[in-house]
Structure 1
Amino acid sequence: MVTAPRKRRWPVYLAVLAVALLLGAWWVNRALEPQRLAATVLASVGESQGLEISFTGTPEYALRPEPRLLLEGLVVRQPGAAAPLLTAARAEVSLPWDTVLGEGPVVVTRIELARPALDLAALDAWLATRPDTGPVEVPTLTRGLQLTAGTVQGDGWRLQSLSVDLPALSPGKPAKADVAGEFVQGDTTLLFTGPLALETAGLASPLRFEGGGKLRSGELDARWSATLDGRLDLTGASSVLDIAALEFKGESPLPELTSKGRLALGDTLALALAGQLANWPEGWPPLPEPFASTPMPLDYELAYDGATDFSTPLTLVVSREETRLDSRFSLTGLLAWLEDDGGNPLPPLQGTLSTPSLVVEGFTLEGVEVRLGEPAEDTPTEE
């Protein structure tokens, strides 16, 4: 029996390899066909969460560094709802091979969203339909989360130009993200940027923020910086931030202060802060004697409990030794006064100032008690 020389078998090997590659390419293309992959992943996620998840256009996928599904015009809504709770101009979802091949549960390793828009009213409506299965679990994203040019619409306020860069997310482990955006309410805009760190990733965790930005309202355009240490709790009916330590510094007319307190946001807003004003801002009316010649920190207490748009008046108590100011004021009125350089020299406060002594045009008054201003906006008056 005569056998062919070994050197002549290489065309057979190449032919077999070519067929194998063609079959492999066909199988991979079938397994990873974009429309099929998108429908499988989104249907599984949507069914498990009671949501309709759709997209426009033709989805795409890439294989490096791992399978990635790219979607244009993502829309997430509660079935039958008029408004979606989440939209995104572009979404990119990275998946491990086990999920792609259907060999395990649906797992996502990274999410990137371009121009996402979250409607909190629609989100609350969907959450109200969900069964009470205990605390919401934070997903694991081994390669993190990235949001660009995002928007969150609340009741009378919104976050815009929001960006979040979170390298990794794992329940119970530390998480740190670079965040930036603009908080807008009426004519006032608060720009912010800086790192936000959670001690343990979850809905309740100690946190730290160290950043800065600008406050803009009408003609007011002042820089600020702040360091905040506290604890955030999103597990209840209201979102609660307990402030263990806050250091705030602002360009005049913004103050420099330290504070502790609590913020609770739900159907209404409750705020309570207490701390010290380090000094009297240059842009504020000058203090009378003897306070002007003996500068020292002022103790203060600030409280608010009312509508989330800050339309309810705030209360402010400022004291130093035996001198005390009890006041109420409208936030919109105060911001307007800060903008007005040539207007009323006195802030729009309603309240009482009491002090052991006060120097006015060279005369010293003893045991002074002064009533200040007109009623703050929305403050009821007795008939």
Structure 2
Amino acid sequence: MSRRRRLALLSLAVLLLAGAGLLHWLLQPQRLTPALLGVAGDALGLEITASGVGEYRLRGTPQLIVRGLVAREPGATTPLLTAERVFISVPWSTLRARGRDLTAVRLELDAPVFNLAAFQHWLAGRPPGETRIPTLSDGIRVDAGRVQGDGWSLEGINLRIPHLAPDRPLRGQLQARYQSLELRAPMDLAFHLGRLGKDGGLGLAGEVTPAGKDWRLPLRLRLSAYLRQAESRLDRMILGAHADYLAGAVRQSFALGAAGPVEFADGLRLRAGAIALRGRDAMPSLDATGDLGLDDGLLLDWRGQLANWPTAWPSLPPPLGRSTSALPFALAYRGTADLADIAHLRLQRDTTRFDARFRLFEVMDWLDALQAGSGSPLPPLSGRLTAPRLEVSGATLEGVDLRLDDPALPATDTAP
């Protein structure tokens, strides 16, 4: 072998060894992971780092595991997303496409924490254009996740999406727990979206259990609507639910229906919707229209008609109790989501009118005590009853103007 050939072979061997050494150095997790996160961060306008030791596999379908992930806007103090572990599996064709193809196999997130305010700030600064949705042939799994809102959070999020693809139906299962200062609500819901990334039909079905300090309200519900994403609105929303109000030994069952447009850009708000409640015993049956909202508290503003006077309520004196006329009402509430604040009620039959201010659960406790034959005969409320005539204990009262004042309630405010 000539000297020139030997030198060429030696040079080639050195280059191969150097290349192999460089490749080995680059593919070490402590170097490969930051490089890949840097590429992803540059594409999204985010600083993405990982504090834990990463893992990767290149045989077959490439896989990457990132631990201690933190994603934030450059210079921001609050991360948009953190996660204890992120697993992603991506085919070689996607890696070779360098961003032109957003096809992956699977994405898994362990204990992610998603800050809604930070996400909205980042989203507002993104350049205009259509958001690209990736394809995940083996879907998404989220375990022990959390979404932090303003004064509320979703805790213990377990999400399963078996398949994700743009412009295709999206199905999945969500388990989580809504939490605020005064209310918690575990949920287990199956969901279906007609077209991912575009307007289309939305369906929800499952169980939600709002609960306060001394009560629970298990709901078994179904919801259908047409989702308009850009307007953050549900059109043609129809909700049906069966529920049980539970407080100590008290159990009140009822059915609830609602229909109308729902806005969810800032909280939830059913505007000018139709509401139907079908109860028994102390739970009334009614039909109403109005608003129902949940943001930094609960809003009720209903006007409608009671179907009848509930059997568990105190009997109405004649001639009011003998009348079969309609029972129009107006109900308003603005306060904490656990219904602990003051509600306003206006109720009328014929020429008799009743205006009251009260706390719902105090009145329900009074009704329970009254049924048990104990407690005060006067309800815990402030209000006014006016009637041209009432018959009480065999006596006929003309021009009745009765005022009740509960000292436990604060000074009066505007009634509905």
Coarse TM-score class (shorter-chain normalised):
0.7 to 0.9
Residue of structure 2 equivalent to 1:142: 137
Worse overlay, 259-268 or 167-176: 259-268
- Counterpart Cα distance in 2 of 1:143 and 1:261: 36
- The structural deviation recorded for 1:354 is 11
Provide the rounded CA distance (Å) in 2 between the counterparts of 1:333 and 1:194: 21
The equivalences for 1:201-350 within 5 A come to 201-236=196-231, 239-252=232-245, 253=252, 255-267=254-266, 269-272=268-271, 273-280=273-280, 282=281, 284=283, 298-304=286-292, 308-310=295-297, 313-319=299-305, 320=307, 322-332=326-336, 335-336=339-340, 340=362, 343-345=365-367
Aligned residue type for 1:279: G
For residue 44 of structure 1, give the secondary structure of its aligned residue in structure 2: helix
Write the deviation string for residues 171-199 of structure 1: whole angstroms up to 9, x where unpaired.
11111011110111222111110210111
Q: CA deviation digits over 1:189-226, x for unaligned, max 9?
A: 11110210111112532111110132211111232200
Distance 2:303 2:402 in 1: 14
* Residue 327 of structure 1: how far off its partner (Å): 1.8
| CA displacement at 1:102 relative to structure 2 | 6.8
Identity of matched residues, %: 32
Q: Which amino acid aligns with 1:300?
A: A
User: After alignment, is 24-33 or 161-170 more displaced?
Assistant: 24-33
1:292 is matched with: none
SS of corresponding position for 1:220: coil
Distance of 1:156 and 1:52 partners within structure 2: 26
- CA RMSD for the aligned pairs? 4.2
Between Structure 1 and Structure 2, how many residues are aligned? 344
Cα distance in 1, alignment partners of residues 40 and 24 from structure 2: 23
Provide the C-alpha distance between the structure 1 equivalents of 2:194 and 2:337, rounded to a whole number of angstroms. Answer: 38
Q: 1:308 offset after TM fit, Å? A: 1.9
Contact 1:230 1:243 in 2 (8 A): yes
> Higher mean Cα deviation, 189-198 or 96-105?
96-105
- Indicate the SS of the match to 1:45: helix
Letter in 2 for 1:277: L
1:23 positional shift: 12
- Stretches of structure 2 lacking an aligned partner (at least 5 in a row): 1-16, 246-251, 308-324, 341-358, 368-377
Matches within 5 A, 1:99-138: 99-100=94-95, 105=100, 107=102, 108-133=104-129, 135-138=130-133
Residues 274 and 90 of structure 1: is their aligned pair in 2 closer, same or farther, counting only changes over 3 Å? Answer: same
Q: Structure 1 pair 263/360, CA: closer, same or farther in 2 (3 Å)?
A: farther
Per-residue CA distance 1:69-103 (angstroms, 9 max, x = gap): 10111111000111001111111111111344676
In the other structure, the counterpart of 1:95 is: 90
Q: Shift of residue 66 of structure 1?
A: 2.2
Note closer, same or farther for the CA distance 1:220–1:360 as it changes in structure 2 (3 Å cut). farther
Amino acid at match of 2:230: T
AA aligned opposite 2:52 = G
Matches of 1:226 and 1:150, distance apart in 2: 24
Q: After alignment, is 255-264 or 103-112 more displaced? A: 103-112
Bigger drift between 67-76 and 316-325 goes to: 316-325
SS in 1 for 2:127: coil
Q: Secondary structure at the match of 1:58?
A: coil
The answer to whether residue 185 in structure 2 is matched with residue 181 in structure 1 is: no
Gaps of 5+ in 1: 1-21, 288-296
| Alignment check: 8 A CA contact 2:140 2:163 kept | yes
Counterpart of 1:75?
70
Distance in 2 (CA, whole Å) between partners of 1:316 and 1:348 is 22
Q: Match of 2:36, as an amino acid?
A: V
- When residues 177 and 362 of structure 1 are mapped into structure 2, their CA distance, relative to the original with a 3 A threshold, is farther
The answer to which structure, 1 or 2, has the higher relative contact order (CA under 8 A, 6+ apart) is 1
Aligned to 1:48: 43
Q: Matches of residues 20-31 of structure 1 in structure 2 within 5 Å?
A: none
Q: How far 1:314 moved relative to its partner?
A: 2.2
Q: Cα–Cα, structure 1 residues 79 and 324, in superposed 2: closer, same or farther, change >3 Å?
A: same
TM-score by length of 1: 0.74
